[in-house]
Chain A
Amino acid sequence: MSDRVVLHVDQNAFYASVEMLRRPSLKTVPCAVAGDPVNRHGIVLAKNQLAKTAGIKTGETVWQAKQKCPGLVLIPPDYKSYLYYSRVAREIYREYTDRVEAFGIDECWLDLTGCPDRDGPAVAEALRRRMKAELGLTVSVGVSWNKIYAKLGSDLKKPDATTVISRASYREQVYPLPAGNLLYVGRATERKLGRFGIRTIGQMVDAGPDFLQAQFGIVGLSLFAFAGGLDQTPVALSGREVPIKSVGNSLTTRRDLYTEQDIKAVTYMLTESVAGRLRDAGMAARTVQVSLRDYALYNFERQAPLPRPTLLCSEIAPEAFKLIMAHFQPGQWIRSLGVRACNLIPQSRLNQESFLPDDRRRQAVFRLEDTIDSLRGRYGGLSVRRGISLVDRSLTEHDIKSENVIHPVGLSGP
């Protein structure tokens, strides 16, 4: 049987490239797409080549970046455009194969096995050329026989390059690379490997599956397979729906929350979005989970069962608020708050007509929230608001639901 042909396409400095595409003058200055420091979302999300040369790293705070490069131009992110360019890029990929699996907004795996165009390097060249001519964006492509090496390849040469890792050459290309380059070898795993003198991917293979399993458990076997190019994970068919397991929203607020009223306002605002998204997905939640981060960046999560499965904000929010207040220490200042609905069941299992007064009231609330959803869909998320959100507009002036962006799903699935 012939080998698989897997491509990994990575759009270079995606957010920054989109910004430079529409304002080419940005190419002449170091620039970075970053969140708003006033709203305390101030981290660097993407940077251009000049900023990279100045030592700016993705994920660092705006003030750190400004210290390294005082002339850095900061641009607020515009997710609507990024999603548009990401969607058009996938349309191009789908002209070559139906197996296009997204890994975040700017990366995709393509499986060309069995397709009319299955010459990996030729398709990679065509993709690079077309992306530049049609979208004005550059991509780097890795070509190999498995997803892990394809991803590794696309990271090797940037920007606008193709790297082929073949069975004939992978030992010379892959084995000398640092173990940390491999997908799923993070800082902690790299440190642990380092303790045994394992610093390269080749040394991981030499260590053998038994040794890695003894150190890392079942994950060790996966790491061995990843390092040796034995990974068999298929590239998912595009459009395949991954079943939703939970719906959540979180927010780092503009200022710390310390009064009950502040916390209540933000909890309700987040729950409104969560409940709206639950209704869109046709799911009901049986458990509510809250996550808190205080000003010292201490994190914790708590969860509690809901009295009965629900998709109503007016039922989830009080439970979430109760849960927060039960674990909130007076004097603690909350920096970031999250509400999540999990343990989901399909809405169809809820709809049992009943003549009990309580259930009829519930159905009325459902119709009310459904109507508010459609008003918001038409006139914007802030067109209908709860009274409590007016207590401090600086905290609640967010349209959480429409600003919601779902971020990458892990390789091994959610």
Chain B
Amino acid sequence: MSRPVPVTVILEMRASGTRHPLEIVWEDGRRYEITRSLYLGRKAARSAGSGECWLCLIQGRHVPLYYSPLTGCWWMDGKGQAEAPPAPEAYRPVKDRGHKGPGS
């Protein structure tokens, strides 16, 4: 089971046009340094959504970091239960889409 966790990313934009994530801020505010990162291109996430993916070395473990060019959001795969499906009667007009998932 995994759920998408939105993260804040400290990014280095190089003159060559490439982006290198340096640090991420987890949802609880903890900061993690990215020792090394490798750009993998487009990839579907294990939790939800798809986008550009970097494989990051954080505290000795390789973890994917995703970026959605559609929404500009960054997220990672977190442990835990995915959100519950919406109730059948909830039809929300487009203006106030409730969810804030990676693709929303």
| Residues in chain A within 8 A of chain B (CB atoms) | 18, 21-26, 28-29, 31, 34, 36-39, 70-74, 76-78, 80-81, 84, 88, 132-137
Interface size bucket, B side?
A: 20 to 34
CA distance A134 to B53 in the complex (A): 10
Interface string of B41-72 (1 = CB under 8 A from A): 11111011110000000000000000001100
| Residues of A contacting B88 in the complex (Cβ-Cβ under 8 angstroms) | 29, 70-74
Could you tell me if A22 and B101 are in contact, using CB atoms closer than 8 angstroms? yes
Indicate whether B97 reaches chain A with its CB closer than 8 angstroms.
yes
Give Cα A136–Cα B92 distance, bound, in whole angstroms: 25
Taking CB as reference atom, which chain A residue is nearest B2? A24
CB distance A133 to B43 under 8 Å? Answer: yes
Whether the pair A22, B48 counts as a contact (CB closer than 8 A) is yes
Contacting residues, chain A, for B86 (C-beta < 8 A): 26, 73
Question: For residue A133, which residues in chain B have a CB less than 8 angstroms away from its CB?
Answer: 43-44
A31 to B82, CA, bound (A): 17
A383 to B31, CA, bound (A): 41
Q: How distant is B44 from chain A, measured CB to nearest CB, in Å?
A: 3
B99 close to chain A: CB less than 8 A: yes
Further contacts, 20 of them, CB under 8 A, given A136-B44, A136-B45:
A22-B99, A23-B48, A25-B82, A25-B85, A29-B85, A36-B91, A36-B94, A74-B90, A76-B93, A78-B97, A80-B70, A81-B103, A84-B69, A84-B70, A88-B42, A133-B44, A134-B41, A134-B43, A134-B44, A135-B50
- Selected from B43, B48, B91, the residue in CB contact (under 8 A) with A74 is B91
Chain B residues within an 8 Å CB radius of A74: 88, 90-91
Q: State the CA gap A176–B19 with chains docked (Å).
A: 55
Residue of B nearest to A74 (CB): B91
Q: Number of contacts between A and B (CB, 8 Å)?
A: 79
Residues of B within 8 A of A36 (CB): 91, 93-94
30 contacts between A and B (CB under 8 A): A18-B103, A21-B48, A21-B50, A22-B48, A22-B101, A22-B102, A22-B104, A23-B85, A24-B47, A25-B82, A25-B84, A25-B85, A29-B88, A36-B93, A70-B88, A71-B88, A73-B88, A74-B90, A76-B92, A76-B94, A81-B70, A84-B69, A134-B42, A134-B43, A134-B44, A134-B50, A135-B42, A135-B50, A136-B44, A136-B45
Check if B50 sits within 8 Å of A38, measured CB to CB.
Answer: no
Q: What residues of chain A lie closer than 8 Å to B27, measured between beta carbons?
A: none
Cα of A74 to Cα of B92 in the assembled complex, Å:
9
Residues of A close to B45: CB separation below 8 A: 136
Instruction: Report yes or no: B94 in contact with A22, Cβ–Cβ below 8 A.
Output: no
- B8-37 CB contacts (< 8 Å) to partner A: none
Cα A268 to Cα B67 in complex, Å, equals: 41
Contacts A71-B88, A76-B97, A80-B70 given; does A23 touch B43 at CB 8 Å? no
CB of B104 within 8 A of CB of A26, answer: no
Decide: A135 and B85 in contact? CB cutoff 8 A: no
Interface centre among B41, B44, B92, B99 (most CB of A within 10 A): B44
Task: Say whether A37 contacts B91, CB under 8 Å.
Answer: yes
Closest Cβ neighbor of A27 among chain B residues: B85
In the bound complex, do residue A136 and residue B97 qualify as a contact, i.e. CB atoms below 8 Å apart? no
Assembly CA distance A72 to B86 (angstroms): 10
Q: Which residues of A contact B49 (CB under 8 A)?
A: 21-22, 136
Query: In the complex, what's the smallest C-beta–C-beta distance from A234 to chain B, in angstroms?
Result: 30
